[in-house]
């Protein structure tokens, strides 16, 4: 059985992301191959991505998308697939959250200005 911890990542460009799979019930040597899923759900193998962990350093806009790992057990002669990992680019703060943050900052500034004004009187 192939499992994973976190499978959804919302990160800014330039950050780093690590996808990791965990395998239970294996009997033989395991081989790993990571794939990128194209928009039409075709699998494109990622060269040299042949470990249980796959890291993308310095994320760029072209890295956003879905990834999956194929795991092969050479004794059981079985292939298993990991959950799908999703990488999206962004700040991690939704627009509504940004607007709320901006409003809080503005109100804090206004409150501070009023307090200063009262102290001067």
Query: In the predicted model, what is the mean pLDDT of residues 92-99?
Result: 54
Residue 102: the pLDDT is 52
What is the percent of the chain with per-residue pLDDT over 90, rounded to a whole number?
71
Q: Look at residue 113 and tell me whether its pLDDT is greater than 80.
A: no
Residue 93: the pLDDT is 57
Residues in CB range of 18: below 8 A, 6 or more apart? 53, 54, 55
- Higher pLDDT: 55 or 104? It is 55
Per-residue confidence band for 41, with pLDDT thresholds at 50, 70 and 90: confident
Residue 4: the pLDDT is 96
Burial class (CB in 10 A: 0-12, 13-18, 19+), 71: buried
Mean of per-residue pLDDT scores for the chain: 85
Query: In the predicted model, what is the mean pLDDT of residues 44-61?
Result: 97
């Amino acid at each position: 059985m192939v499992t994973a911890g976190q499978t959804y990542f919302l990160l800014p460009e330039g950050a780093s992301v690590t996808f990791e799979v965990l395998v239970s019930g294996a009997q033989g040597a395991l081989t790993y191959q990571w794939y990128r899923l194209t928009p039409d759900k075709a699998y494109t193998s990622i060269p040299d991505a042949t470990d249980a962990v796959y890291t993308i350093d310095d994320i760029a806009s072209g890295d956003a998308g879905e990834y999956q790992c194929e795991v092969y057990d050479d004794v059981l002669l079985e292939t298993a697939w990991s959950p799908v990992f999703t990488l999206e680019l962004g700040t991690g703060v939704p627009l509504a959250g940004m607007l709320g943050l901006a409003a809080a900052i503005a109100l804090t500034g206004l409150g501070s200005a009023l307090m200063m004004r009262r102290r001067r009187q």
